[in-house]
Amino acid sequence: MSAAIRQLAERLIAEGAEDLSPRDRRVLEHMARRLAASRNWSADYEDSLTLGQRVADKVAYWGGSWPFILGFALVMLVWIGANIVMATRAFDPYPFILLNLVLSTLAAIQAPIIMMSQNRQAARDRLQALHDYEVNLKAELEIMALHERLDRARIEHIADSLERIEARLGLEPRPGTSEAGPLGDKAT
């Protein structure tokens, strides 16, 4: 049994379910009602995003893509090439001060938008981690319950087999075996 399960069980016994965290209470509720712990949390998260957040995510996605990088490199090459070829009539002669201004402005606008998108991605990752924890905790508790049932069934089977063997051999049942299992617990 993992330390997290043991702590949860000890807190539940000592304090009752009211003092558990909402997450732990939700896992116990899912177990008690036999509900699935999995849910489409991603769709709920996407629905909660504002228009500005969606735009920031699209800008960050586009700004970090190869088409953007290659397209922007092409624009810069055309800009520089046109200004070199037009030499005396260039709209941005060497050292390309206007190009530097455009690049600085783009970086100044794009950087905070990308940071906002990264912060949202980190929040989304935290939600996913919490959801994964709930699913894993419920699965572990369910597996432990199944092991307990299998152990109980195995003990009962062994006790029944022992009684049949004793009956075939004509031996008197050991004291207490007909009412109690091999570990002293009552057979059901």
Give the DSSP per-residue string, 12-74.
HHHH-GGGS-HHHHHHHHHHHHT--S---HHHHHHHT--HHHHHHHHHHHHHTSHHHHHHHHH
Longest CA pairwise span in the chain (Å): 118
Residue 82 lies in a domain: yes
Domain membership of residue 110 as a residue range: 36-169
**Packing angle of the helix pair 22-33, 3-15 (nearest 10 deg):** 90
In a domain, 81, yes or no: yes
Is 24 a member of any domain?
A: no
What's the average model confidence in pLDDT over 77-82?
93
The region of weakest confidence among 60-64, 93-97, 137-141, 173-177 is: 173-177
- Answer whether residue 92 shows pLDDT above 80: yes
pLDDT score of 187: 47
Let me know if residue 12 belongs to a domain. no
Please check whether residue 3 lies inside any domain of the structure. no
Structural domain contains residue 99: yes
> How many domains is the chain built from?
1
According to the model, what pLDDT value does residue 188 have?
46
DSSP 38: -
% of the chain beyond a pLDDT of 90: 34
**Cross-strand bridge partners of residue 186:** 180
Q: What is the pTM of this model?
A: 0.56
Residue 41 lies in a domain: yes
For the chain, the residue count is 188
Give 120-144 pLDDT, tens digit per residue.
Answer: 999 889 988 888 888 888 888 888 8
